Structure 1
C-alpha cells in the first residue's frame, strides 16, 4: 500500500514538473507584457492629445480676446474720424457759400478733409488685415467645430472615452443629453442622430 502511495507521489511530482515546463515555455507572459505596454502607450497618447487640445482651446480663447480688443479699438478710431469728417464737410459747405476771400481757408479745409479720408482708408485697411489675421490664426478644425456648435446648438464633452460621444443639445425647449457609443454605429448613423436634434424651422 505504501509502495503504491510513493508511486502516486512520484507521478504527481512529474506531472507538476511537466506543467511548470509548459507554463515556462509558453508565450503567455510575453503576450501579457505586450498588452500592458500597448495599454500604457494608448494612455500616454490620450493624455498627450488631451493636453494638446486644451492648449489649442486656451490659445483660441486668448486670440479671440486680443482680436476682439483690436476690433473695438479700430471701431472707436473709425467712429471718431467719421465724426471729424462730417464736421469738416459741414465746414466746407459753409465755406463754399462765403465770399471768394475765403478761398485760402477753403483750400485748407479741403486738405484737412482729404487727410481725414486717407486716415479713414488706413483704418479700413487695418481692419481688413485684422479680419484676415483672425481667419489665419484660428485653427481651421477648431473654427469648424465652433461654427458647428453655434449652428446645431450642440455642445460636446472632451473628457470622454475614445469611442463615446457625450454632450448636450440646448437648442430646444428642454436640454437633451447626448450619449452615443460610436463603436456600435457607423459615422453616417451618428451624424443622422445628431442632425435629428437640430430644428429645421427658421
Structure 2
C-alpha cells in the first residue's frame, strides 16, 4: 500500500515536471540554441574553406615566385658568364689593336726615316749632277755617300792608322775607335758593317 502511494506520488511528480517543462518553453529554447549552433558551425566551415583556399593560393604564388627567382638567377649566371667571355675577347682585341697600332707607328717612323734618307740621297745626287762648274773628287763623293748610308761621321784629324768617328744609330750614338795596325781589313770591315742596321 505504501508502495502504491509512493508510485502515485512519483507519477504526479513526473506529470508536474512535464507540465513545468512544457510551461517554461525549454524545448523552444533548446531548438533555438541548436539552430544557432548549426549556423555557427556552418559559418565556421565556410570560414575554414575560405582560409584553405587562401592558403592554397598563397602556396601557389610562393611556388611561382620561387620558380621565377630560380629562372632569374640562372639567367643572371648565364649572362655573367657571357659577359666574362665578351670582356676577355674585348681585352684580347684591345691588346691586339694596341700592338698593331704600335707596330704601325713603328713602321711609319721607319718609312719616314727611309723616305728622309732617300730624299737626302736624291738631293745629294742632284747636287752632284747640277754642279758642272766644280768637279767633286770621287773620294769625297764616296765619303758623303757612305755617310748617308752608314750614318757614320768620321774624324780626320787622327793618325792614318786610327779609324775614329761616331755611328748615329736609330736610338743612340756609338763611338768608333779602331786601330788598323792590330786588325785585318776584313775585321775592320766586319766591325763597321756590324754597326749598320739591316732592317728596312
Question: Bigger radius of gyration, 1 or 2?
Answer: 2
Scaled to the shorter chain, the TM-score interval is 0.3 to 0.5
Compute the TM-score of the two structures, normalised by the length of structure 1. Answer: 0.37
